[in-house]
Structure 1
């Protein structure tokens, strides 16, 4: 069992994609992220590594600094501890971790031993997969693709989403997300607005194209528009749009402890496939 780091994102993606694709829904975030980096590069410190056992990929790890570490599913959580050791050769401190429950525990236990950083559970997420939309609410309005003229509204709403949904966790740059979405080829990503009488009332984005699927997120409805099922309407409409465009599956992450959103997604047709835990690391002592 050994860690192997990669400096070439293309070589890394080609090496890990077959392993990640065996559990495509669970790895939708890692698949989409490593694919985008292989195609577009990354201009900040980047860590891409895997654990090999008998020459085969057993675990995958990516960190796009300053963001959190992301771990794949793995048969042996000891792989996560090895990756913690290797990351510690580069960074003395990390903001946090997103990983399946058992690898998350193995990693944060080892990180505590190495650094004294205390792991704090920020939130638990459920990874969902949909292959057929089974319910679309009868809601006034229509879904419209966002364009450059919507930039400032998108920036405002994505920022609000990060504050509300992600709380005190390390969050991506909202302007980068909006600009990337607006510039993306339509089969790779974008954002839509739910419009009622020419007024935007909800937002949904998509990104992270995989071999067979694509991931929805974020989904955001401003507080003054909630209670009208606009979030459900745009989630269902975008899911159907992506399936109609040739995707076999649509994936998404949802806060496991927020019952309303989980009810909405299950009613639309999403099925839970796995859990992922987000931890923040707090300096000890």
Structure 2
């Protein structure tokens, strides 16, 4: 046992054997670590060369209270920590010579780590992501809904999916994802492992799409949801999100979650009408 309680390793299998139950105990709050760690464990496309520099679990009396993971590309993920423990983790990582490029966590933890990292290293921290986390309570499809039906996207829909994912990234300012898609590195993008659902009009034309992550820890995250600009305002986003939610439940998910932009009251209200309930706020900070 170390003086600060953190147990560090570079062995993901050993880490998950010891910390997996903790991560699965709160799959909604831990949705990002669950999906990130599963991709690292499987060596999924886009993770080659991005193996973890360190995995850590905060443990006392045989019980895990928090975890972090830091990839070689500098992605630091944290579960909820007190400000005091966050400060001690920042000091530990700095002393070991680790240099995260950014941190993502619940807003309180991410903010506390960014402030602690500045104190210990002098690095500048700049916010780049803020979001609400919602989990699905009782799915309530829109009534009345738009004409048409939901259906899973298949291999023949690949070109449509790629084009709409690019348009989505342009809309939300995710230039790094646009660059990967434009370079033909679809598998390396954050969409390469998604399962897509279309809402199609009665004539069979796709008009909106939503996607879900693979099932891990009983959880599926819906991301992204996209409707082309010229087709918005017709109820398609609500219909396709409900269809993706049904698909997630049918796949065995006990928790279905999604992130929303706090600055978009329309989408937040829509997801609440569908039965999603806000759980927490999350944030990300980049470091110089």
Q: Give the secondary structure class of the aligned counterpart of 2:192.
A: helix
| Change in CA separation of 1:152 and 1:227 when aligned onto 2, cut-off 3 Å | same
Question: Is 1:122 matched up with 2:125?
Answer: no
Could you report, residue by residue, the CA deviation over 1:4-33 in whole angstroms, capped at 9, with x for unpaired residues?
A: 322222222222221122222111121122
Select the residue among 152, 159, 167 that pairs with 1:160. 167
- Which residue of structure 2 aligns with residue 43 of structure 1? 48
Alpha-carbon spacing, 1:67–1:212, altered in 2? closer, same or farther (3 Å): same
Partner of 2:102 in structure 1? 96
1:29-77 deviation per Cα after TM superposition (whole angstroms, max 9, x unaligned): 2112223322346422323222334443222112345363221123x23
Runs (5+) with no aligned partner, structure 1: 182-188
Q: CA deviation at 1:97?
A: 1.9
CA distance in 2, matches of 1:54, 1:96: 31
Residue in structure 2 matched with residue 191 of structure 1 by the alignment: 196
1:143–1:192 Cα contact (<8 Å) kept: yes
State how far apart, in whole Å, the 1-side matches of 2:73 and 2:178 are: 9
Task: Give the structure 1 partner of residue 37 of structure 2.
Answer: 34
CA-CA distance at 1:229 after TM superposition: 1.6
Q: Is the 8 A contact 2:130 2:281 kept in 1?
A: yes
What is aligned with 2:16? 13
TM superposition shift of 1:131: 3.5
Change (3 A) 1:17 1:106: same
Q: Which residue does the alignment assign to 1:184? A: none
Contact preservation (8 Å) 1:129, 1:270: yes
Q: Higher mean Cα deviation, 161-170 or 264-273?
A: 161-170
CA contact (8 A) 2:67 2:78 kept: yes
Matched, 1:278 2:284: yes
Contact 1:51 1:57 in 2 (8 A): yes
Partners of 1:67 and 1:171 within 8 A in 2: no
| TM-score w.r.t. length of structure 2 | 0.83
1:221 equivalent to 2:221? Answer no
Task: Describe the shift of the 1:178–1:124 C-alpha distance in structure 2 as closer, same or farther (beyond 3 A).
Answer: closer
Q: Which runs of 5+ in 2 are unaligned?
A: none
Residues in 2 aligned to 1:173 and 1:103: alpha-carbon distance in whole angstroms: 30
Cα distance, 1:78–1:262 mapped onto 2, change above 3 Å: same
Taking the aligned partners of 2:83 and 2:60, their CA distance within structure 1 comes to 13
Say if 1:59 and 1:79, in contact at 8 Å, map to a contact too: no
- Alignment of 1:180 with 2:205, yes or no, is no
Counterpart secondary structure, 1:35: helix
